[in-house]
């Protein structure tokens, strides 16, 4: 599908994890490396693309967040909850605000400076957006979490679908942030259901940590796999040291899905912040992200692992500290 040696995509992990070094290393090992455009300025993303291109990676991709419509929310109650943690960390609660993540500017960047692959998360772009990229030779992937979303993405003209099962770490790629757990599908169930309605290539994501996991989803009908958690602690990953230490030391045994850190459902290690605030967090993205951002920054500086967003999938206990090349090898050979 990608003219890469292996049917392996390194998941685009926002927040500094998916560095150009990581993407380049995965590409050189035979997979498809991805840069995460979310939370970055357009100029910062352009610099990362240029840095990656200098390493002649071959096929690589860039992921963008699709912005949702701006809505009004009441944050007073949640602000009171997180103020207690802010006091502990000697931090200030951030101001909740809407931001479209420089959506239009990033689209202009990727049409003026095309890359081989572009994937979208948090929604499906319009047919015009997809076509504009395809006319530049870009292969377009849309992340989906339900059969309904898969149908919409196919109708919009996507070249392939990334099927994100509930097992996956990090943010749910759901088109509608108001959806709850009743809309959750495991990756194998999702492959089975989407195969019945679409002939598009399917990229399976969620809980894929070793060669056996890869074989299971490919046998089920996926054309490729997307892997994120397995790369978190590799030497090329940009995850902060406290984050890596928590994973490698197995500080937390369980993961859970929460809106506590950003206002969007995401799976992470079940630390004190997640456990105490999940039930009270509003479905307000990116507003809650900006509210908790100063707290997460302070927590990282202090090594206060109980207050960090520690995104990880259900197979987090298999994470290893090694090179990206070794991880690709363990998954594919």
Residue ranges and CATH numbers for the domains of the chain are: 8-332 (3.20.20.70)
> What is the predicted pLDDT for the residue at 116?
98
State phi, psi for 97 to the nearest 5 degrees: -155, 160
Alpha-carbon distance of 191 to 71, in angstroms, equals 33
Helices 187-195 and 147-156, axial angle in degrees (round to 10): 50
Alpha-carbon distance of 121 to 124, in angstroms, equals 7
Alpha-carbon distance of 62 to 11, in angstroms, equals 10
Indicate the burial class of 105 (C-beta count within 10 angstroms; 0-12, 13-18, 19 or more).
middle
Q: How many CA atoms lie within 13 A of 289 on its CB side?
A: 17
Alpha-carbon distance of 256 to 42, in angstroms, equals 32
Q: Say whether 160 sits in a helix, a strand or coil.
A: strand
- pLDDT tens-digit readout, 250-272: 999 999 999 999 999 999 999 99
State phi, psi for 111 to the nearest 5 degrees: -90, -35
- pLDDT tens-digit readout, 20-50: 999 999 999 999 999 999 999 999 999 999 9
- Tell me which DSSP letter residue 27 carries: H
Helices 287-302 and 76-89, axial angle in degrees (round to 10): 10
State phi, psi for 219 to the nearest 5 degrees: -65, -35
Alpha-carbon distance of 15 to 17, in angstroms, equals 6
Which residue do the tokens 């103020």 mark?
83
Q: Which residues of the chain have pLDDT under 70?
A: none
Closest by Cα among 230, 187, 170 to 15? 170
Q: Say whether 324 sits in a helix, a strand or coil.
A: helix
Strand pairing report for 60-65 and 139-144: unpaired
> What is the predicted pLDDT for the residue at 178?
87
Cβ count near 71 (within 10 Å): 12
Q: Quote the tokens at residue 235.
A: 């030497």
Range list of H helices, the chain: 20-28, 42-54, 76-89, 103-112, 127-134, 147-156, 187-195, 211-220, 241-248, 272-277, 287-302, 324-332
Q: What pTM value is reported for the model?
A: 0.97
Alpha-carbon distance of 11 to 227, in angstroms, equals 5
Sheet containing 8-10: give its strands across: 8-10, 224-227, 202-205, 160-164, 139-144, 117-121, 60-65, 33-36
DSSP, residue by residue, 166-232: TT-SEE---S-TT--GGG---HHHHHHHHHTT--S-EEEESS--SHHHHHHHHHHT-SEEEE-GGGT
């Amino acid at each position: 599908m990608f003219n890469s040696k292996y049917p392996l995509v390194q998941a685009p992990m926002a927040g500094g994890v998916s560095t150009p070094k990581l993407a380049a290393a995965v590409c050189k090992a035979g997979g498809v490396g991805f840069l995460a455009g979310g939370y970055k300025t357009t100029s910062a993303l352009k610099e990362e693309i240029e840095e990656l291109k200098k390493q002649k990676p071959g096929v690589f991709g860039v992921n963008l967040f699709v912005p949702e419509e701006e809505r009004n929310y009441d944050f007073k109650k949640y602000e009171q909850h997180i103020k207690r943690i802010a006091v502990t960390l000697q931090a200030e609660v951030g101001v909740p605000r809407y931001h479209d993540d420089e959506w239009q500017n990033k689209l202009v960047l990727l049409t003026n400076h095309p890359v081989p692959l572009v994937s979208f998360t948090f929604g499906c772009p319009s047919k015009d957006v997809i076509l504009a990229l395809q006319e530049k030779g870009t292969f377009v992937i849309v992340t989906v979490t339900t059969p309904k979303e898969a149908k919409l993405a196919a109708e919009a003209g996507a070249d392939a679908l990334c099927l994100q099962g509930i097992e996956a770490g990090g943010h749910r790629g759901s088109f509608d942030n108001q959806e709850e757990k009743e809309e959750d599908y495991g990756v194998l169930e999702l492959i089975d259901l989407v195969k019945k309605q679409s002939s598009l290539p399917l990229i399976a994501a969620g809980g894929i940590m070793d060669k056996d996991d890869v074989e299971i989803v490919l046998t089920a009908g996926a054309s490729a796999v997307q892997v994120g958690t397995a790369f978190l602690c590799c030497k090329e990953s940009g995850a902060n040291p406290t984050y890596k230490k928590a994973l490698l030391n197995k500080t937390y045994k369980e993961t859970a899905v929460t809106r506590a850190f950003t206002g969007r459902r995401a799976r992470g290690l079940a630390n004190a912040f997640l456990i105490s605030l999940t039930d009270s967090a509003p479905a307000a993205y990116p507003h809650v992200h900006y509210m908790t951002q100063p707290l997460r920054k302070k927590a990282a500086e202090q090594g206060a692992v109980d207050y960090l967003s520690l995104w990880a999938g259900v197979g987090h206990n298999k994470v290893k500290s090694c090179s990206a090349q070794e991880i690709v090898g363990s998954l594919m050979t």
